[in-house]
Structure 1
Amino acid sequence: RLARWLRLAGFDTRFDPAATDQELAAACRAEGRWLLTRDRRLASLAGPRVLLLRAGSWPEQFVELGTRLPLVSQRERWLSRCPRCNTPLRAATREGVSLRVPPYVAAHAAQFRECPGCGQVYWEGTHVARIHQRLAALLPRAGTSGRCEEEGDR
């Protein structure tokens, strides 16, 4: 769940539950990624860019991550990645997605985005406000390095 929420916050987050420990460690090294894990054995394989998380729940892990790494989330990047596969989302037309969303959504949603990676369609429903509230509550708890920047704060 941590990977999903990092993606919702706009962070490029690779998560592959089918990969072996060796494959994960090698991919992180090859791609210059941080490896986030609670597994000490996996952490020992990863090299210098590993963060051994202590927290148990994903919200606590999110906060811990922000206090230990220079994590900066910009609101305009929120909901910019597919939470399922991590691909950046792109704008979509009502006509292009109308057969892939419920009829009420097709008729009433103002904007649509779709994932070119997995084909999932997204629209702004009541869940979006809840996601924004959750991220806005978590990021300040992550400390000054895990701050939340508004568009004009750069």
Structure 2
Amino acid sequence: MIKFFLEGSLKGLGKWLLFLGYPVIFCEGKISDQDILKHKDCIFLITSPETAIRLEKAGVKFLLLPRDNLKTQLKLCLNRLNLKPELKLNLCTLCGGQLIPVNKEDFKSLIPEKVYQRYEEFNYCPSCQKLYWEGDHVKRLQEKFQKLIS
């Protein structure tokens, strides 16, 4: 399973990688030598040429991305890393935890009444206790994704 370690400026890209089902770790601040050693099994996604030199010396996989262009960043990741352009929506967007399908009856107290009546399938993040369902926002998310990768 591919895992990513992203510099802090790539939070937007990281969210889309989570939507695609890839685990993501964000670095707060500058990527340190300890970060590199600790996360050698990850692919580092960076915008800093200086960090690229350090990663290359350490023999760690990385992809140097342009700053401030989410569309280009996402397309480069998909193409250069052979990522499947399919939204899995199986990871929590808050903590990155694996979502598990749950019986809506067991979570009735957490679900707004209209949502409870309208939807049958719910997923739960045991790490941060967030509940997810495939509402209208998922269709908008898929449309936005298609625009980003077109």
Equivalent residue number for residue 44 of structure 2: 35
Tell me how far apart the structure 2 counterparts of residues 101 and 39 of structure 1 sit (CA, whole Å).
43
Mean Cα deviation higher: 46-55 or 80-89:
46-55
Matches within 5 A, 1:79-98: 79-98=89-108
Q: TM-score, normalized by length of structure 2?
A: 0.76
Tell me how far apart the structure 1 counterparts of residues 108 and 52 of structure 2 sit (CA, whole Å).
45
Deviations 1:101-143 (A, max 9, x none): 323222322210011221111011111011122333444x4xx
Equivalent residue number for residue 131 of structure 1: 141
Is the partner of 1:14 in helix, strand or coil?
A: strand
Letter in 1 for 2:141: I
CA change 1:133–1:40 in 2 (3 A) is: same
Q: Is the 8 A contact 1:8 1:80 kept in 2?
A: yes
Is the partner of 2:63 in helix, strand or coil?
A: strand
> How many residue pairs get matched?
136
Tell me how far apart the structure 2 counterparts of residues 7 and 14 of structure 1 sit (CA, whole Å).
10
Give the C-alpha shift of residue 55 in structure 1: 4.4
Select the residue among 46, 54, 68 that pairs with 1:45: 54
Deviations 1:39-88 (A, max 9, x none): 2333333333011112422222101222322222445xx11111222222
Of Structure 1 and Structure 2, which has the larger fraction of its residues in helix? 1
Tell me how far apart the structure 2 counterparts of residues 21 and 58 of structure 1 sit (CA, whole Å).
24
1:66 counterpart = 2:78? yes
1:26 counterpart = 2:37? yes
Select the residue among 48, 51, 66 that pairs with 1:54: 66
Equivalent residue number for residue 17 of structure 1: 28
Letter in 2 for 1:85: C
Tell me how far apart the structure 1 counterparts of residues 135 and 34 of structure 2 sit (CA, whole Å).
38
Tell me how far apart the structure 2 counterparts of residues 72 and 103 of structure 1 sit (CA, whole Å).
36
Tell me how far apart the structure 1 counterparts of residues 114 and 34 of structure 2 sit (CA, whole Å).
43
Letter in 2 for 1:132: Q
